[in-house]
Structure 1
Amino acid sequence: MNFPQIDETHDPARSSWVERADGHSDFPVQNLPYGIFSPQGGAPRAGVAIGTMIFDLRAAAEAGLLPAPAAAVLDGTVLNPLMALPSADRVALRRRLSELFSDARWRGAVEPLLHRAADCVPHLPAAIGDYTDFYVGIHHATNIGKLFRPDNPLLPNYKYVPIGYHGRASSIRPSGVPVLRPQGQRKAPDADMPEVGPSQRLDYELELGIWIGAGNALGEPVPIGRAAEHIAGFCLLNDWSARDFQAWEYVPLGPFLAKNFQTTISPWIVTAEAMAPFRIAQPGRPEGDPRPLPYLWDEGDQAKGALAIDLEVHLSSARMRAEGLEPLRLSRGPASSMYWTAQQIVAHHASNGCNLNPGDLLGTGTLSAPKRDGYGSLMELTEGGKRRISLPTGEERAFLEDGDELALKAVARADGYVPIGFGECRAVIQPARFLHGIRADN
């Protein structure tokens, strides 16, 4: 397995002259994630997050500050061409940026190209051609399965196949864009007929997003031993779910309107290169579980294919924010709860010859820890709505209500290295705008 290597850019002793970069909870000089942003009054362009600032990559390329291969692909409003570059070119760009931000000799040339992140607007980092959501969080799959099949929560294929389904790329939005409560069909267990209306069981799903870099030609599978070479980076992903719609519509083909109304992602691509120090062994499978089939098995992937990331979910109601109260942490757990690695996901996706393209996005599916304080959805935390959550204001929640803000957080940690974060992945729930096809405010 050809994972990116640890080099001088990961050195914990490396510091930056950029104000507030050292010790930044998300974007120290050891991170350097890429994104698309609009500076105040400007057009969208490529940038890199460093501390509380964003470095204008397009302007840096025009000033001759960047390696030629990368500079040639940074003049657009999406990062797909950068993601498609060979690994060696991406590594060269990372090393150059690390030098620019850590060596004070470059301050005069670089500082004019920095923008305060608070004054900028983030955008989707890529033109997402396709989005596929997987289901590799085994604790989540088990918890959800128990709600419907207490004696047999996991279906027979789960431990052989990285289960996934195709989502809707057009409704993916960056952090900060509100979520309109969706409307659709739902049917109560004791009702004779379904009804149409706003979802009453709106939920979140804590996931990681996997950005595809180099693609593969149609008909050519990606071998598991080469799968890491096709991953450009990672982000946070919240695949909002209308549980009442899903319960009615998912048989026999799976989720549809319950999921396609919106997916929220953190806008920064934390690169595969930045994650090099945070690779850990994939947890061993429980005794009796089948060994993955040969096309999904690689010793190197098992040794270093998992990710040392701590994941958190926070909720604040409109009343909590009005009263100045801190958000309530709903859960915290490790990304290593994935039953399948990111590389196995990629290899399986392309195993039938499906062509992946630069900028495609894959979701891991909901990631839950074994215990309740690490569950990654309200469906699990409230046991399908039976067990309500108390907020600091005295309010209670079974599912999300209008005005609620849901925020995901992720930090990669490893002994001897500087932690790096993924930035914000948050959105506020707004009331349904359309009811039965008519604007609700008419």
Structure 2
Amino acid sequence: MPLMKSWVASANSANTPFPLNNLPYGVFSLADEDPRCGVAIGDMILDMAALEAAGLIELDAEAVFDLPFWNQVMELGPEVWAKLRARLQEMLAEGSGDQATIAPYLVRQADAQLHMPFLVSEYTDFYAGRQHAQNMGAILRGSPDLPTNWLHIPIGYNGRASSVVVSGTEITRPNGQSKAPDADMPSFGPSKRLDIELEMGAIVGTPSDFGAPVTVDQADAMIFGFVLLNDWSARDIQAWEYQPLGPFQGKAFGTSISPWIVTKAALEPFRAPTPPREKKLLPYLDGTIDGLYDIALEVLIQPEGATKATSVCKTNAKRLYYSAAEQLCHHASGGCGMNAGDLLGSGTISGPEKSEFGSLMELSWAGRTPLTLDTGETRTFIEDNDTLILRGAALGDGYQIGFGTCEGTIRPAVKFPA
């Protein structure tokens, strides 16, 4: 599909992440105004709340845009999602008769503050990157062999919805228990091995009933859109606590997402197949639709005072082994009711080359091989006041479908007790 031309001139640049082909959904505010729903187009934001108040857009529901979240729109279902997208593209397309009417409702992104784009009902993080799982096995157990269940089941754990924050929110270095290999007792204090995980986040748009499973194809239809996701990880805290029940405090202190929800419809031209299965999946995990997406991803580190960030990883979302739809299907398979606003993290996305490793744990091989940044500084794990940046875009014919950046700066740990 080629670039769709818009009368919003900035949307026609090959460099903008927000052409007419994209139209991602976010929440913004200006000055002292309340946050409300908006749609990114070029370097502008279409004020959906103002359009709604003026009677210029309707979804057969009252006041769904004058809210600081998109959950109300999600709950209206896929037919309404398609209707809304079609109407937005019609209004904003080059030659549209709506231009004079709609133009006053555009505001500059540079003047806006972005907020969490939706209310996170629940948060589940998966472990769907095969290369990452093999790397972690090699680092932690001395063998890249996968756990026995890994090729049969999308492994995940239930995280903290309360800790999911929008890009730009500062993250406080967590305190916790850790234990040195030669120590008799654990110690308590700030994490010394703070890390990131490069992930995609899938947002559930329509719920499933408690006790009712869904197929992979039904799960695919339930997904509203995607965000970039950084699941910050305290590796030393995690290493001490994770047996036998998995991650807890080492993952509970912060998860950052990009500010714009890129709809599944915008990503449709970029679908990619899941990789060949080494072990045949059980029939309930069979689907008929390619579930991955060809999305180029990048991780950058910017130390305090540096004038630019250093790129340390470039990979692609199609490196995943399990799709979001397969993860959602498995999540609901035991009868777990899924909610509008549920967030599913993909798990760390890594490729076979070191330049594609999506965490510092892998890039520094647990601290054994430090990274050298463009500033000349070295890193094994994240230091205080470092800013970590995730970028991602699906690359089309003369355009890109971008997410905005997902970034966060690490601030020093709070002295305990506070």
How does the TM-score come out when normalised to structure 1? Answer: 0.91
User: Does the C-alpha gap of structure 1 residues 395 and 417 become closer, same or farther in structure 2, counting only changes over 3 Å?
Assistant: closer
| Residue number among 293, 300, 303 corresponding to 2:282 in the alignment | 293
| Counterpart in the other structure of 2:215 | 223
Aligned residue for 1:22? 12
Q: Equivalent residue for 1:333?
A: 315
Q: Distance in 1 between matches of 2:109 and 2:135?
A: 39
Aligned twin of 1:75: 66
- 1:305 alignment partner, one of 288, 291, 296: 291
SS at match of 2:389: strand
The aligned counterpart of 1:431 is 412
Unmatched tracts of structure 1, length 5 or more: 1-10
Q: Which moved more, 1:235-244 or 1:11-20?
A: 11-20
Do the aligned residues in 2 keep the contact of 1:206 with 1:376 (CA within 8 Å)?
yes
Moved more, 255-264 or 142-151: 142-151
Q: Which shows bigger deviation, 120-129 or 398-407?
A: 120-129
* 1:418 positional shift: 3.1
Does structure 2 retain, via aligned residues, the 8 Å contact 1:70–1:90?
Answer: no
- 2:304 is matched with 318
Report the Cα distance in structure 1 between the residues aligned to 2:170 and 2:204, rounded to whole angstroms: 26
Name 1:133's counterpart in structure 2: 125
Bigger mean CA deviation after superposition, 69-78 or 186-195: 69-78
Q: Deviations over 1:41-77 (max 9, x none)?
A: 2101111011111111111112222243366522322
Q: Which residue number in structure 2 is paired with residue 146 of structure 1?
A: 138
Question: Aligned pairs, how many?
Answer: 416
Determine the C-alpha separation between the residues in 2 that align with 1:280 and 1:141. Answer: 21
Partner Cα distance (1:127, 1:151) in 2: 40
Decide whether the 8 Å contact of 1:173 with 1:265 is kept in 2. Answer: yes
- TM (norm. structure 2) is 0.96
1:72 and 1:133, CA in 2 relative to 1: closer, same or farther beyond 3 A?
same
1:67–1:96: 8 Å Cα contact kept in structure 2? no
Higher mean C-alpha displacement, 119-128 vs 129-138: 119-128
SS in 1 for 2:97: helix
Task: Measure how far apart 1:37 and its partner are.
Answer: 1.2
Residues 308-350 of structure 1: CA distance to partner in whole angstroms, max 9, x if unpaired? Answer: 1111001111132xxx2x3111010111111111110110010
**Aligned 1:49-198 pairs, distance under 5 A:** 49-69=40-60, 72-102=63-93, 103-151=95-143, 153-198=145-190
Provide the C-alpha distance between the structure 1 equivalents of 2:210 and 2:268, rounded to a whole number of angstroms. 29
Instruction: Give the whole-Å Cα distance in 1 for the aligned partners of 2:310 and 2:24.
Output: 28
Distance 2:3 2:257 in 1: 31
Q: Equivalent residue for 2:237? A: 245
What SS does the aligned partner of 2:228 have?
strand
Moved more, 275-284 or 338-347: 275-284
Residue 163 of structure 1 deviates from its aligned partner by: 0.2
Instruction: Report the Cα distance in structure 1 between the residues aligned to 2:46 and 2:61, rounded to whole angstroms.
Output: 15
- C-alpha contact 1:70 1:93 (8 A) present in aligned 2: no
**Alpha-carbon distance between aligned partners in 1 of 2:218 and 2:64, rounded to the nearest angstrom:** 24
* 3-state SS in 2 of match to 1:173: strand
Contact 1:61 1:71 in 2 (8 A): no
CA drift of 1:370 comes to 1.0
Q: Which runs of 5+ in 2 are unaligned?
A: none
Structure 1 contact 207–363 (Cα < 8 Å) conserved: yes
Change (3 A) 1:27 1:13: closer
**Partner Cα separation in structure 1 for residue 104 and residue 184 of structure 2:** 66
Partners of 2:59 and 2:80 within 8 A in 1: no
Instruction: State the match for 1:3 in structure 2.
Output: none
Match of 1:401?
383
| 1:273 counterpart SS class | helix
Deviation (angstroms), 1:26: 1.0
Per the alignment, residue 47 of structure 1 pairs with 38
Q: Partners of 2:148 and 2:325 in 1: how far apart?
A: 22
Do 2:10 and 2:16's aligned partners in 1 also have CA atoms closer than 8 Å? no
1:209–1:235 contact (8 Å) kept in structure 2: yes
